Amino acid sequence: MTNEDIVELLDLSAKLMELHGGDPNKIKSYGTAAYYLDKFNERPFSEMTEAELVKLQGVGKSIAARIIEIVNTGTFPELQVLLETTPEGVLEMFRIKGIGVKKIQVIWKEMGIETVYELEQACLNGSVAKLKGFGGSTQQKILESIAFLKNQQGKVRMDKGAYLAGKLKEKLEQHFSSVAISGDVRRGAEIVDRISLLIGADSPVSVQRVLDGVEDLVKNEKESSPFIWRGILRDSSLPVDIRVVAPARLASELFLDSAGPDHLSRRAVDGTSLFQLVSRNNFETEETIYESAGLPFIVPEMREGIHEWSWSESRNANELVTWEDLRGILHNHSTYSDGRNTLKQMADYCRELGFEYLGIADHSQSAAYANGLTPERVSAQLSEIDFLNTQYATDGGRPFKILKGIESDILGDGSLDYTDDVLAGFDYVVASVHSNLTMTKSKAMERLLTAIANPFTTILGHPTGRLLLSRAGYEVDHKVIIDACAAHNVVLEINASPWRLDLDWRWIQYCMEKGVLLSINPDAHETAGYHDMRYGVTVGRKGGLTKASTFNALSLTEIEAWLDNRKRQLMI
């Protein structure tokens, strides 16, 4: 059990206790423990004794005992009783945006509704709107959230898709010498609805026998054939396709299985489509496919048939941004706000990874839910940054610096958190929306455009506020937003968290056409979060992002000069 697993079970316990009308003090105890333990990552709870656990903030003897039970058994008796007495459909309601535990309790206890389907029907016939404390607005939000969740069933985010595909590949490589990940994962899709792999082998029947015995694979006999194994991963609804191809066809089939239909319809110089060319011929590498077609090489991530061909008219694959091109990490959080690691820990690990600068951007004062910084605490953090930077400058190592940033909430009227004199003390400002997310398009646009026009806004953070597979973003006119960023010299963020990946990659090319720089930011709340940058790089490449258009590909000297120049312009 990971720390995250344990925190999730404690939080679920608090919700279920509240749902069943449990002891308020006990509910608070579990909720408080989950809140504080979520910020702790110095050691695995599974390695700690009960005596060590009770020393942690928010943990008493009772909670410590529950953690020990969870580590040993995966659960504890009281949670099991709560789960057994809660209909599965009611548990699913916790995923619905717009209703909390108290409203779910009313839906279940007063209306007798025990499934999401029944809740949807009750909303459609207007029954939910009549409940005290609900109304038409809440009813509509429930319907919209249910529709969104239904559309996301059987899908996973990029990070989980890549992880599952990688683990399955490792298992298969114990039996086969040629295994390749294809499909959504290889193409860098932000949402994966199928794990696809290819096996190069001469005997499909022999491969099928082995696959039928692989742990964690559940075969769908009806949909499988001698040449393709279809089924799901055990304990997952995610479909899996494993195709068996002749070894001489592996490169060709990998190409066909990893490109979108519109990409494959592109005509070669002889008039045949890429699909026809590759279907009829065996190629040793994907590079030779494009050479034979008389077309520029396109990396797997870009093979969508959307804009890669127009992109390739003036650029080539070698210009695409890579992990190695990144020189610094911007938009990160520390224990000053809602992060899990101290400022020094965040900086030291950033430096250990070989980066030249860390941009700290803790939450601003209006984000009370995230322990946002008051002006007094801003001053304390800036002083600590000065102190640490002095140490880094004199220790004889490679150049490294902490840049002074803030993630300033964009308030309801589009203004930024803090007064101008406080904002002026930062090297840069990431302006982001965190509240009132159910805006109309016109309200969202007014709010964002006002923030972009603010002279202190350096980077527009996660511009649509989406959470993949969980929450649709507020509607915006991307072209207008990008045009405004171009006009005001504002950088756009590609939030690399696999939950966000916002800005959407489909708008990257338009950003580059308008001269808008993009910053690949992890929004890291702990040191491990830095590695999410790889997902940002993937979607950046998918959208055609070049090193030249990547803000944090600038060296420390270059980015300091860029920020200083922008500040001087503010004073004109």
pLDDT digits (tens, 9 = 90+) for 19-75: 999 999 999 999 999 999 988 877 889 999 999 999 999 999 999 999 999 999 999
Per-residue pLDDT at 186: 97
**Better pLDDT: 154 or 16:** 16
Per-residue pLDDT at 81: 93
CATH code reported for the domain at 323-571: 3.20.20.140
Query: What one-character-per-residue DSSP string does 500-546 give?
Result: T-BS-GGGHHHHHHTT--EEEE--BSSGGGGGGHHHHHHHHHHTT-B
- For 383, counting Cβ atoms within 10 Å of its Cβ (0-12 exposed, 13-18 middle, 19+ buried), the class is exposed
CATH class of 156-314: alpha beta
Helix residue ranges per DSSP H, 153-297: 158-172, 183-186, 204-212, 250-257, 261-264, 274-280, 286-293
pLDDT for residue 181 is more than 90: yes
Q: CA–CA distance from 494 to each of 70, 290, 296, 538, 548 (Å)?
A: 37, 30, 27, 11, 15
The residue extents of the domains of the chain are: 1-86, 156-314, 323-571
Task: Copy the structure tokens of residue 45.
Answer: 């709870």
Task: Copy the structure tokens of residue 167.
Answer: 């683990």
pLDDT digits (tens, 9 = 90+) for 206-240: 999 999 999 889 999 999 998 999 999 887 778 99
Return all residues near 552 (Cβ < 8 A) that are at least 6 apart.
326, 327, 328, 329, 330, 359, 519, 520, 521, 559
Mean pLDDT of 533-552: 98
pTM for the whole structure: 0.82
Mean pLDDT of 403-432: 96
Per-residue pLDDT at 397: 77
Per-residue pLDDT at 38: 87
**Sign of CA pseudo-dihedral 266, 270, 276, 278:** negative
What's the CA gap between 401 and 390, in Å, rounded? 9
- Please report, rounded to a whole number, the percentage of residues in the chain having pLDDT higher than 90: 82
Residue 299: which of 516, 532, 505, 462 has the closest Cα?
505
Among the residue ranges 106-115, 516-525, 536-545, the one predicted with the least confidence is: 106-115
User: For the CA atoms of the chain, what is the radius of gyration?
Assistant: 26
Mean pLDDT of 368-379: 92
Return all residues near 424 (Cβ < 8 A) that are at least 6 apart.
456
Q: How confident is the model at residue 243 (pLDDT cuts 50, 70, 90)?
A: very high
What's the CA gap between 145 and 139, in Å, rounded? 10
DSSP state of 335: T
Task: Copy the structure tokens of residue 125.
Answer: 């016939």
Task: Give the torsion through C-alpha atoms of 487, 491, 495, 496, to 10 deg.
Answer: 130
Beta bridge partners of 225: 228
Per-residue pLDDT at 58: 92
pLDDT for residue 508 is more than 70: yes
Residue with tokens 């969740």: 149
pLDDT for residue 146 is more than 90: no
pLDDT for residue 436 is more than 90: no
The CATH fold assigned to 1-86 is DNA polymerase; domain 1 (1.10.150)
Per-residue pLDDT at 370: 86
pLDDT for residue 470 is more than 90: no
pLDDT for residue 572 is more than 80: no
Per-residue pLDDT at 382: 98
Task: Copy the structure tokens of residue 387.
Answer: 């102190």
Task: Report the amino acid identity of residue 381.
Answer: Q
Q: Give, in degrees to the nearest 5, the angle at Cα 435 between 434 and 440.
A: 110
pLDDT digits (tens, 9 = 90+) for 250-274: 999 999 999 999 999 999 999 999 9
What's the CA gap between 150 and 144, in Å, rounded? 10
Residue 461: which of 485, 430, 482, 440 has the closest Cα?
430
Which secondary structure element, helix H or strand E, spans residue 3, and what is its range?
helix 3-19
Give the mean pLDDT of the chain: 93
What's the CA gap between 426 and 359, in Å, rounded? 11
DSSP state of 554: S
pLDDT for residue 335 is more than 90: yes
Is residue 224 classed as helix, strand or coil in its secondary structure? coil
Helix residue ranges per DSSP H, 38-134: 50-53, 61-73, 77-84, 88-92, 101-109, 116-124
Mean pLDDT of 359-380: 94
